[in-house]
Amino acid sequence: MSDVLPDRLSVDPDSPFHDADLLARGVGIRFKGEEKTNVEEYCVSEGWVRLAVGNRVDRRGKALTVKLQGPVEPFIKGE
């Protein structure tokens, strides 16, 4: 598997941007220079991340998120 990460990635299995094999390897996100652990989805080219808001869920059982704008740097953990 290549070490090139996609422009957009989501942890939601229903999303077309979900990649279970890549997520199993461990993907980390630096947002505005700070490592984030609660990222649900990111897009490098558009410069945004969706962060989970605590343990709250919507009526469908999906995590509530907030979309933040800024520089996004994905990386493989342990490399």
Residue with tokens 């989970």: 52
In tens, the pLDDT along 5-52 reads 999 999 999 999 999 999 999 999 999 999 999 999 999 999 999 999
The CA-atom distances, in angstroms, between 67 and each of 21, 25, 63 are 25, 25, 13
Query: What are the φ/ψ torsions at residue 38 (nearest 5 degrees)?
Result: -110, 30
Note the pLDDT of residue 1. 46
Look at residue 22 and give its three-state secondary structure: helix
Look up the pTM and report it: 0.87
Does residue 70 contact residue 34 with C-beta atoms inside 8 Å? no
- With bands split at pLDDT 50, 70 and 90, how would you rate the model's confidence at 78? confident
